[in-house]
Amino acid sequence: MRALSLHLAVLALLLALHFVLPAYHHANLARIMVLAVFAMGYNIAFGYTGLLSLGHALFLSAGMFGAGLLIQHFGLTAAPALLIGTLAGAAMAALTGLLALRTAGVSLMIVTLMFAQAGYLTLLYFGAVTGGDEGFPVPAAGRVAFGLNLAAEGPRYLVALGLFALALMGNLALVRSRFGRVMVAMRENEERSRMLGYNPFAVKLGVMVLSGLYAGAAGAFYGVMFGYVGATFATIPYSILPLLYVLLGGAGVTLGPLLGAVLMFYLIDLASSHTTAQLAVTGGALLVLVLFAPKGILGSLRERGLASWLP
Amino acid sequence: MAAVLALSAVGLSLTFGVMRVVNVAHGEFFMLGAVLAWVVVQAVPSAPLGFVAALILCPLVVGAVAALADTAILKRLNYDPEATIVATIGISYILQQGALSFFGPDARAVEAPFSLRLQFPWFGYSGYKLFVVIAAGLVLLAVWLFMTRSRAGLVMRATQVDRNTARAFGINVDRVYAGTFALGAALAAVAAVLIVPIQQAHYLMGHDPLLLSFIVVIIGGLGSIRGTLIAALLIGLSDGIISMFFTPTLAKIVATLAVALVLVFRPQGLFGARA
Amino acid sequence: MASVILQAEGLKRHFGGLKAVDGVDLALNAGEIHALIGPNGAGKTTLVSLLSGRQVPDAGAIRFDGTDITRLPAHERVRRGIGYTFQITAIYAGLSVFDNLALAVQRGHTRDLSRAVTEAAARVGLEDLLPQIAGTLSYGHQRLLEIGMGLALHPRLLILDEPTQGFAAGEIEGFMALVRGLVPATTVLLIEHNMDVVMALAERITVLDQGRVLASGLPAEIRANRAVQDAYLGGSHAGD
Ligand SMILES: Nc1ncnc2c1ncn2[C@@H]1O[C@H](COP(=O)(O)OP(=O)(O)OP(=O)(O)O)[C@@H](O)[C@H]1O
Ligand SMILES: [Mg+2]
């Protein structure tokens, strides 16, 4: 009950901010919410199930290019393109998972990294279609969904909030479900779970697909809402990004990705307006987190018993 | 190229073999070596002398940076495999930032210490490239002898087999780890110094060597130095052959996927049956 | 003659030169309590690992309830009714007692999960500790939880690997009553070092030594067997 109220309160706060935030922060928050959906997908795999992937940029860009290319080359409208893009993320995750989940731990990290890198190179290779490093702007006609112009500030924020709300409540329901319990069981002790009759590979594959679904949705919406699709989103830094958000906010906590995304976004924003040291900020944050707060902000709170009910 | 690749890859293999640490910052140590080489060569007026100075100084500096990173960061993580990967990613970002801030975003060329051109009857060959191959070969040989013959090498191999037993025998495991990490990074730096006259120094240049080194190490079997050498030679040679058939991008795609699949289906590497 | 629920033939598992299990035949009758005994390192844990699918045999075949399961993965065997409790306690230390049991209980697609979990906890006397984090339980309670998870699977064959290790004397009585209550609905294969427990519970006993079956039969036969006395029971039981 407490958890549900907290989640609803967070969503209400985000809605209230829509009416009061100045334009600059309003636009930022729309971006952050979509990126938080990406990180939520990452959290499902990493935070809850213990699958440390370094290749989630692949699923993000699958969603982004899935939607973007359909609009650009086949003149699809936004709604079906967004749906197909989202599914493309899940499909890519399924494909990756089928191969990569035969490994675990460090090997899983390297294999996912390699797959994502191959995906990035593939985008470059087909530069004639994908725009390569330059990318391409999404045509205005393809940025209207259900009569809402996603290029305009107001509707964009509300659509981002809608997507975020759906993702967050889905996430909450998932981790409270029986399957959510099995996910955590895999993270805690895979061998034990097998001896309770759970097929680790099947569970992890399911988790990967869900995670890819989130990442694909984030990619598709990000591309269509902000009007740009590019191969940069397939590079390694975009695989590190959700890891960073989740580590900062708290792995295995539903609200961790949002908190991490907000803080990290503004930290980098702050750093880059005063210095040119964004890279150092990212690197430094990673180091500080692994060294001193591997559970992240909300994770540490939960552990100290201050909010042991956080899902 | 194969020779330089082997150097860099052996460095990576060493850290993984002895410490079980996958060093994502390895490419950045390589980059640091190249960038420092440029700095040293600029500071020393005479070209050959500057190059020699770089060849000595850069590995030392890079090794020192690595040793520092090891004691300050990796040791505190107790070498937990996944945490160290995240940490080395962090280190790589910081090194990139350092190079970007102090060195700038432009690529800088370093002149070769000599420009001799060997003229064979059927093709010409740059004397410097030949020198690189020989130099890299010598360094590799030295590493090999060091690992197999010297006391320090023995200590390192003992630590590789069992950390706790090694500690029980009075080996200072912390020092071994710091030393190994430094040596691995220094090898990358040597490779970088050798390569700068052929390729330019740039703050993002660590990326490709890292990927290539990963490929070599994985194909050779993680931690097996002999396997790494064979793999480096094979890849270096086949690199030329593949790129005759494919564009460079396609060649990279094929290579990356191939490596990922090797890791999935043959985790012990193609040659690493007995590491 | 009761029907055979599990039949193993010629099972082998070698670790390099070490023959941990070296050609073992074993038949379990449906509904019996069958004890597996033998000195430390005899290969008991390895043998049941082969039966439960945690390890793959180098040779031999296993039939469960009439079908060949030799190649089935462990989780599939659990689904068919082979439950297993670990010798080294393997509970989810970071999760609550409730979640630990729920993971076993929910396999049965129970409607009212919390009631079923409470029942499962009550069987091993942990119903008052449901919210506690499992890793913070006393060792004896952790062992009970381990057994409780095995029971909650409602297996047709339950393999218990040294369940009473770490129990206080009083707890052993309760445990024996619990196991007696399982049969004949469940068949029990019990690895046990405590001979009092073995003699009180087992209907049949198989003795393993150096990876081979030394003897197999009724408790009285095993007690009288010279080879067993020499290899395992030692001088203290020789006078019986
Ligand atoms: N994975 C393994 N690799 C190598 N040797 C093993 C392995 N597992 C077991 N062994 C060896 O096989 C032999 C049998 O071990 P096992 O654990 O089956 O004995 P046990 O009868 O269960 O002993 P205990 O009564 O101590 O539990 C032992 O010598 C053990 O050291
Ligand atoms: Mg045992």
| C-alpha C36 – ligand 2 centre gap (Å) | 10
A103 touches chain B (CB under 8 A): yes
Instruction: Please check whether residue A65 lies inside any domain of the structure.
Output: yes
**C-beta separation of A218 from A159 below 8 A:** no
The verdict on residue B15 lying in a domain is yes
Is the CB of residue C44 below 6 angstroms from any atom belonging to ligand 1?
Answer: yes
Per-residue model confidence (pLDDT) at position A238: 93
Q: Facing residues of C11 across strands?
A: C24
User: Is residue B103 assigned to a domain?
Assistant: yes
**Out of A84-93, B173-182, C12-21, C207-216, least confident range:** B173-182
Task: Note whether residue B259 is domain-resident.
Answer: no
Instruction: State the pLDDT at residue A122.
Output: 94
pLDDT band at B245 (very low <50, low <70, confident <90, very high): low
Number of domains chain B contains: 1
Q: How far is the CA of C166 from the centre of ligand 1 (A)?
A: 20
- Higher pLDDT residue, C96 or C88? C96
Inter-chain CB proximity A192 and C102 less than 8 Å:
no
> CB–CB of A277 and B97 under 8 A?
yes
Q: Residue A60 pLDDT > 90, yes or no?
A: yes
Query: Do residue C106 and residue A194 have CB atoms under 8 angstroms apart?
Result: no
Q: pLDDT tier at B117 (50, 70, 90 boundaries)?
A: low
Query: pLDDT tens digit string along B46-101?
Result: 767 778 888 888 888 898 999 998 888 888 888 887 788 888 888 988 888 888 88
Mean pLDDT over the full length of chain A: 91
Residue C146 lies in a domain: no
How many domains does chain C divide into? 1
Q: What is the per-residue pLDDT across B8-38, written as a single tens digit (0 to 9) for each?
A: 778 887 777 777 777 888 888 988 888 888 8
* Domain membership flag for residue A88: yes
Q: Does B43 score more than 90 pLDDT?
A: no
Per-residue pLDDT tens for C59-77?
999 999 989 999 999 999 9
DSSP string over C119-166: HHHHHTT-GGGTTSBGGGS-HHHHHHHHHHHHHHT--SEEEEESTTTT
pLDDT at residue A2 is higher than 60: yes
Q: Is pLDDT larger for residue A192 or for residue C232?
A: A192
pLDDT digits (tens, 9 = 90+) for B206-237: 777 777 777 777 777 766 677 777 777 776 66
Residues 87-116 of B with CB under 8 A from A: 87, 89-94, 96-98, 100-101
What is the number of CB-based contacts under 8 A between chain A and chain C? 57
State the smallest CA–CA distance between residue A288 and chain C in angstroms: 25
Cα atoms in the 13 Å half-sphere on the side-chain side of A20:
6
Cα angle C156, C158, C162; round to 5 = 175
Considering only CB atoms, B253 lies closest to which of A105, A125, A287, namely A125
Interface test with B, best of A112, A272, A286, A292 (most B CBs within 10 A): A286
Residue B227: predicted pLDDT: 73
Residue A284, in any domain of the structure: no
Would you state the pLDDT for residue B113?
A: 63
Whether C168 is in the pocket of ligand 1, judged by its Cβ within 6 Å, is no
Distance, in Å, from the CA atom of A201 to the CA atom of A265, rounded to the nearest integer, reads: 35
* Residue of A181, A199, A200 with shortest CB distance to C99: A181
Answer yes or no: is pLDDT of C218 > 80: yes
User: Is the shortest distance between the CB of C49 and ligand 1 below 6 Å?
Assistant: no
More confident residue, B179 or B223: B179
Asked if the structure places residue C100 within a domain, the reply is: no
Domain count, chain A: 1
Does any CB of chain A come closer than 8 Å to the CB of residue B257? yes
Q: What is the ipTM of this complex?
A: 0.88
Q: Are the beta carbons of A287 and B73 separated by less than 8 Å?
A: yes
> CB B86 to CB A243 under 8 A?
yes
Cα distances from C181 to residues A258, C1, C31, C164, C211, in angstroms, run 52, 22, 11, 16, 31
Dump pLDDT digits (tens) for C219-229.
888 888 877 77
Percent residues over pLDDT 90 in chain B: 0
Q: Is residue A179 part of a domain?
A: yes
Contact partners, residue A111, CB within 8 Å, separation at least 6? A55, A99, A100, A103, B260, B263, B264
CB contact under 8 A, B87 and A117: no
Tell me whether residue A133 is in a domain: yes
> Is A129 touching B (CB cutoff 8 A)?
no
- Bigger pLDDT: A280 or A91? A91
Domain annotation covers residue B223: no
Q: Which residue in A215, A233, A227, A224 sits closest to A79, CA to CA?
A: A224
Q: pLDDT tens digit string along A152-205?
A: 888 999 999 999 999 999 999 999 999 999 999 999 999 999 999 999 999 999
B22 contact A CB<8A: yes
Residue-number span of the structural domain to which A186 is assigned: 2-235
C232/A231: higher pLDDT:
A231
A293 domain-assigned: no
Confidence of residue C115 (pLDDT cuts 50, 70, 90): very high
Subunit contact B247:A106, Cβ cutoff 8 A:
no
Nearest to B22 among A110, A121, A276 (CB): A110
Residue with CA at minimum distance from ligand 1 atom 7: C15
Position A259 scores a pLDDT of 94
In degrees, rounded to 5, the angle at the alpha carbon of residue C125 between the alpha carbons of residues C123 and C126 is: 110
Kindly state whether residue B237 falls inside one of the protein's structural domains: no
Q: What's the CATH number where C22 sits?
A: 3.40.50.300
Q: Which domain holds residue B147?
A: 2-206
pLDDT tens profile C137-154:
988 889 889 999 999 999
Binary contact (C76, A199; C-beta < 8 A): yes
Q: How far off is chain A from B249, nearest CA to CA, in Å? A: 6
Ligand nearest to the CA of C54: 1
What confidence score (pLDDT) does residue A99 get?
95
Q: State in Å: Cα C46 to ligand 2 middle.
A: 7
Query: Measured in whole angstroms, how far is the alpha carbon of residue A129 from the centre of its chain?
Result: 25
* C16: in domain: yes
Report if residue C238 sits inside a domain: yes
> Is the Cβ of B85 closer than 8 Å to some Cβ of chain A?
yes
Residue C240: per-residue pLDDT:
39
DSSP character string of chain B: -HHHHHHHHHHHHHHHHHH----TTHHHHHHHHHHHHHHHHHHSSSHHHHHHHHHHHHHHHHHHHHHHHIIIIIGGGTT-HHHHHHHHHHHHHHHHHHHHHHH-SS-B----S---EEE-SS-EEEHHHHHHHHHHHHHHHHHHHHHHHSHHHHHHHHHHH-HHHHHHTT--HHHHHHHHHHHHHHHHHHHHHHHTTTS-B-TTTTHHHHHHHHHHHHHH-TT-HHHHHHHHHHHHHHHHHHHHHS-HHHHHHHHHHHHHHHHHH-TT-SS-S--
pLDDT score of A226 more than 90: yes
Q: Which stretch of A130-144, A282-296, B157-171 has the lowest confidence by average pLDDT?
A: B157-171
